[in-house]
Amino acid sequence: MADDLLAQFRSMVEHDPAYQVRLERHYLAWKAVVDDPTHPDHDKVRTELHDDPSFRPAFPSHTPVRRQEPRIGPNDPCPCGSGKKFKRCCRG
């Protein structure tokens, strides 16, 4: 059930650029409250525990994965060795 809901949400976000922009804008507004100690709502969202080094970040920084091989195009032969185009074999 949760996996289905997550998949539906991802699909919705991937296909709606306006929604992506809106989510980003809301995230930046939230981050401004959390990171700015002078903001009136700062104490509502950030406690002294936020700076405790024993807590790990909820969203650790993401390091991109780099491919060793070049990307396979849809019209390239499938790497499985079937002789078919990639888009008609393992991609599809």
Tens-digit pLDDT profile for residues 2-15: 888 888 888 888 88
* pLDDT confidence tier of residue 84, bands split at 50, 70 and 90: very high
Separation between Cα atoms, residue 42 and residue 56, nearest integer Å: 20
78 CB-contact burial (10 Å; exposed 0-12 / middle 13-18 / buried 19+): middle
Greatest alpha-carbon pair distance for the chain in Å reads 64
**Phi, psi of 77, deg, nearest 5:** -60, 145
Query: Reduced to 3 states, what is the DSSP secondary structure of residue 48?
Result: helix
Tell me: pLDDT of 33 over 90.
Answer: no
Tens-digit pLDDT profile for residues 56-74: 766 667 777 788 888 889 9
What Å distances lie between residue 8 and 41, 46, 52, 91, CA to CA?
32, 31, 35, 21
